[in-house]
Copies of this chain bind each other. A is one copy, B any other.
Amino acid sequence: MTVIKSNHENHAADDSVGVVETRQVELFTADDPLHLECGTEFAPVTLAYETYGTLSEARDNAILICHALSGDAHAAGVHSPEDPKPGWWDRMIGPGKAFDTEKYFVICSNVLGGCKGSTGPSTNSPRMDKPHALGFPMVTIHDMVVAQKRLVEHLGIDRLLSVTGGSMGGMQALDWTVSFPDSVVSAIPIATTYRLSAQGIAFNEVGRQAIFADPHWNNGDYYGAEPPDVGLALARMIGHITYLSDKSMHEKFGRDLRYRDKYAYDFQQEFQVESYLHYQGEKFIKRFDANTYLYLTKAMDYFDLVDGYHSLTESLKRATAKFLMIAFTSDWLFPAAQNKQIANALRTNGSDVTYVEIRSDYGHDAFLLEFEELTKLISAFLGFLYEEKAVQ
């Protein structure tokens, strides 16, 4: 039996997975396509992914990390020794960390529809020899999960020890537990919801409208030309307000001015909070594709675990995983109450679920920031599963 080795070298800090590379794999074929929920049959699908740690002989120590709206496959480590920016969840993944790469084989892949190496609107349509753009079919959270399942199988893994993610990543983790119950021992959905609220849909829609309104968007056909940077930056600015709490914004910026003690009385960015939003917008357009933003926000809008069922309880009856559900008190985009609803439904079903509400002022962003609290909870939860496995 071949042991899949981690793709990291050991040149970095003790608790880093070190230098890693993003790999790509082509999945599905014309004869065996991905059946999307929208009705389209799609193939091939390239998924970009990274792995950290070593897959055990028994292939029973794999954990899948699902990323949020703006994430990618690069969850941990660096891409070169000089790379100053580690992966998006680096503080959670590595030797001795929550997702301990001494114990677990950790996988993270860019979602279907993404723009960081996986097939999406910005990748070439083999048929057309140009980017799909709006010709890309609409994808759902479930479609992303079906593609991930194929990747996991490709890596020789039948059953994941755990699947986790925050926000849109949490939606994927939830979908895994009901779509492939036999393939997940446990799930750790964080700061998520079983269906996006009207407010969530509303914020996504104004973000999309900001992109549509940019003349450079050109009905999605902007590849090779100037992209709709203004619209995408604006969508990101709107998003960022929803990721922070009122309190964290107050503490971080208050009414502080950028340069002066007195108001300038003009329409430039005067307040620190304005400057912060513009900075986030500018940073985002350098690394993200506007059409992917459209597709992924729609995927979130469509997500509804109750779809086709009479109740959340009925829907979650399919799940057999052990759950650790984590929410944050100041998250108003995916409020704790919505996470608790899931935990309560699981409890009603007699499922094994631990629900924790972390006190945090960081708002929705807490899932990327409250790593100390998250580490305590996740280490204990996974450690217990790991020990249990050893005993068997």
Contact = CB atoms under 8 A, between A and B. Distances in A.
Given A210-B234, A234-B213, A267 B298 contact: yes
Contacts of A265: 37-39, 137-138, 302
Contacts of A198: 246, 249-250, 252-255, 271-273
Given A246-B335, A267-B294, A255 B201 contact: yes
A241 interface: yes
A202 to B, nearest CB: 5
Interface in A195-212: 195-199, 201-203, 205-206, 208-210, 212
Interface residues of A, number: 55
A301 interface: yes
Report how many copies the assembly holds. Answer: 2
B298 A250 contact: no
Kindly name the residue among A205, A273, A301 whose own CB sees the greatest number of chain B CB atoms within 10 A.
A205
A304 interface: yes
Given A199-B241, A253-B198, A301-B271, A205 B277 contact: yes
Interface string A182-205: 000000000000011111011101
A37 B304 CA distance: 51
B209 A234 contact: yes
Which among A206, A215, A301 has the highest number of chain B CB atoms within 10 Å?
A206
A332 interface: yes
Q: Which of A202, A253, A254, A294 has the most CB of B within 10 A?
A: A202
A40 B277 CA distance: 30
A72 to B, nearest CB: 23
A310 to B, nearest CB: 15
Contacts of A270: 301
Interface in A253-303: 253-255, 263, 265-267, 269-274, 277, 294, 298, 301-302
Interface in A327-385: 332, 335
Nearest to A276: B202
Q: Which of A138, A267, A335 has the most CB of B within 10 A?
A: A267
A266 B301 CA distance: 12
A238 B206 contact: yes
A230 interface: yes
Nearest to A274: B205
Contacts of A173: none
Contacts of A199: 241, 244, 246, 249-250, 273
A254 to B, nearest CB: 6
Nearest to A236: B206
A237 interface: yes
Contacts of A237: 202, 205-206, 209
A221 interface: no
A231 B231 CA distance: 11
A251 to B, nearest CB: 9
Interface in A101-152: 134, 137-138
A214 interface: yes
Contact of A246 (B197, B213, B238): B197
A209 B209 CA distance: 13
Contacts of A304: 255
A375 to B, nearest CB: 29
7 contacts: A138-B266, A197-B249, A198-B252, A198-B271, A205-B273, A208-B267, A267-B294
